[in-house]
Structure 1
Amino acid sequence: MEYRESFTKAMSEKAKIYLVGSNLEDGDGDDASSVVPVLYDVDDIAKIREHGVAGVLIGTLGGAPQQNVFLGVPLRLMMEEALWLVEVGHAVFRHVMGQDLIKSLKGLDGEKLQKFKDDRANDVAQQLEWKRANFLRKMKTLRGASDVAVPSDVINERDEQLMKQSIFIETKDTSAVIEPSLNDQTIDQRKICEQILRQNEKLRLNYKVYKKLREMGYFMSPGARFGGRYVAYPGDPLRYHSHLTVQDARSKDEEIDLLNMINGARLGTSVKKTWVLPGINENGDAEFYSVEWAGFG
């Protein structure tokens, strides 16, 4: 019962989105392009996924840096995703100013870094001791206690190396770098949303498109690999293939490059996606036009 109550309480709290590299207390703040919204806690990641935001995991697994399909925390968001989560009340911004992050990283050169190393070494030693005990118990059963040729209490070099290679390295669910004191540094949520949008006209247009697609029930992911701003899914990306490749939003006076339209439509057809060109009308609302490549003859 206590676990259920604590879980319900954790899920009811707003997710914390860290604006890494931001300096939000002076003037108009930083350029939105220099700020990276990330989440460090898996509980927060679970919360935003319940609300239709998947994000992209960018953390590296310690023992397998090339396994980029199964990366760990932190989770990076598109700025549109971060703004939407805060605007609808599912998350709050926290900020990590450049000097704060540098200060935290500098601490890794001293006692904190040594503690990380000691904790890792102790964990590896405990796992290895457990593996050795299980191996000797198994060998004693297989060889027999009276076997003189191969004593049951001896581990050869090959078996020792195999056990070391099978050591499990735990990937932490939260950041060990971000200081707890930084977690308490809150900011005016409405003010920072306005600052970010005011500094970037293209983001203002794209944010209107993003909100419209969210209202229509789509999940969005970055679409650069398919030649667009977003890739839109009809549901959770773990269950569905994407249907749309959505381009950057355009104002009513912005020209359309026909060559880019042809290339985009052909690319979209080859990957079984509809190429969507969004625009913002005179009333400030998002409109959508789709293009598909058709064969002739």
Structure 2
Amino acid sequence: MGELSLHVSNGKIFVWNAEDAATLREEHRIVGKLIGCLPRAPRQNVYLGLPLELLPEETSLLLDKGVAKLVDDSKSLQKPYPEQVQELERFRQIRYEQQIELCREARKKELYRNFNRVKEGKIAKHRKQLEEHQKAGETIDDSDLENVDVDIETIPSHGIPRLEKKHAMVQLFTETPWVDHSDASQPVPWTYPQTELEQLRCRVFTDLWEKGHFLTSGSKFGGDFLVYPGDPARFHSFYIARCLPHREQFTALDVVAMGRLGAHVRKTMLLCSLGDNNQIHYTSLQWSGMS
């Protein structure tokens, strides 16, 4: 399998291809963060979809391992050719015709599920017709009213409106199908990390990743990364990793605050620094609960 495409847009890194996003998670333990709304549920933010935004540390790791390549996303915003517009219209027409059949099948299933109600409706209609005949002075026999015949096989042929094109769902591409990035001749520069803290974050991320952990952003818990023993979809994080320069000074109150923060969310605070021997050092803080 070739290199995965990481799209650069306004200094941020995105993955638009669903297969690439799945490969990153399943084969490379790179989780990222979904930030796109779901087409069928756009007014909620509990469940999100593509694109997948990557941390700069995740991006640097993938580039160093040769797993992915950067793609300039500005090439994806060019005006399409007339042939591409025609191809898109043909694609949408095919999807529309497929939706017609899917809509009919869904309507059939609904009618089958509500067969008893359909039969009751026909009986009610037949009763109303009998009452109208009675009012007109006609002599009728209503003894077989409850035996109105409703053939279940004929139900699907009635009450199934044709799906209008304006009501059909329109498929939105998560990745442009018109641009081929495989022959990109101009490499996209990647300058992260630059500062000492950024270098430390990359070193810590890579070290924990190579130890077999999954990592995500830890900003919502007051850290740099959340460290998981397995896929975050199945496990809670064990550690809140916070990257600190080796000789940075902080007070006892800072230590207490970090320890209590970890205890409050039932995680261990992991202080990460780069020692004089150029090795990563880890210090864990756990609140004992003693007053």
**TM > 0.5 between the two?**
yes
Q: What is the aligned length?
A: 253
Q: Amino acid of the residue matched to residue 69 of structure 2?
A: V
- What letter is aligned with 1:185? A
Distance in 2, matches of 1:87 and 1:269, equals 35
Which residue is equivalent to 1:28? Answer: none
Could you say which residue in structure 2 is the equivalent of 1:149?
Answer: 125
Structure 1, gaps ≥5 residues long: 1-11, 22-34
CA contact (8 A) 1:18 1:39 kept: yes
The correspondence of residues 1-297 of structure 1 with structure 2, limited to 5 A, is 12-21=1-10, 35-49=11-25, 50-97=27-74, 100=75, 103=78, 115=89, 125-132=100-107, 143=119, 149=125, 155=159, 175-177=174-176, 179-181=178-180, 184-185=183-184, 187-188=186-187, 192-193=189-190, 195-198=191-194, 200-247=195-242, 249-256=243-250, 258-296=252-290
Q: Secondary structure at the match of 1:180?
A: coil
Q: Is the 8 A contact 1:101 1:178 kept in 2?
A: no
CA contact (8 A) 1:62 1:169 kept: no
Letter in 2 for 1:285: Q
Cα gap change, 1:102 to 1:90, in 2 (>3 Å): closer
The structure having more radius of gyration, on CA atoms, is 2
TM-score (norm 1): 0.68
Cα distance in 1 between the residues matched to 2:94 and 2:196: 48
CA deviations 1:159-197 (Å, max 9, x no partner) are: 98xx99xx995876x5255741456435547xx34x222
With normalisation by structure 2, the TM-score equals 0.70
Counterpart residue type for residue 42 of structure 2:
P
What percent of counterpart residues are identical? 25
**Distance in 2 between the 1:209 and 1:117 partners?**
47
Compared CA separation, residues 184 and 122, structure 1 to 2 (3 A): farther
Cα distance change on mapping 1:143 and 1:217 into 2, 3 Å: same
- 8 Å CA contact 1:233–1:242 kept in 2: the answer is yes
| Aligned-partner SS, 2:207 | helix
Structure 1 position 261, deviation (Å):
3.2
Shift of the alpha carbon at 1:229?
A: 0.8
> CA-to-partner distance for each residue in 1:226-256, whole Å, 9 max, x for gaps?
1111000012212221100011x23234333
Structure-2 separation of matches of 1:120 and 1:256: 61
1:58 maps to a residue whose letter is I
User: Can you list the C-alpha shifts for 1:57-91, whole angstroms capped at 9, x where unaligned?
Assistant: 11211222355343221111111111111211222
Write the letter of the residue equivalent to 2:7: Y
- For 1:58 and 1:186, locate their aligned partners in 2 and report how far apart those are by CA, in whole Å: 30
What whole-Å deviation, never above 9, does each CA across 1:76-135 have from its counterpart, x for those lacking one?
1111111111211222222224xx46546x99xxx69x9598787666555444444555
Deviation, structure 1 residue 222: 0.8
Distance between the aligned counterparts of 1:256 and 1:187, measured in 2?
45
Segments of 5+ residues of structure 2 without an aligned counterpart are 127-149
Name the CA distance, whole Å, in 2 between partners of 1:274 and 1:168: 50
Alignment-derived partner of residue 137 in structure 2:
none
Amino acid at match of 1:36: K
- Structure 2 contact 197–245 (Cα < 8 Å) conserved: no
- Give 3-state SS (helix, strand or coil) of 1:149's partner: helix
* Structure with more contact order per residue of length (Cα contacts < 8 Å, sep ≥ 6): 1
Q: 1:244·1:276 contact (CA, 8 Å) conserved in 2?
A: yes
Q: C-alpha separation between the residues in 1 aligned to 2:236 and 2:186? A: 37
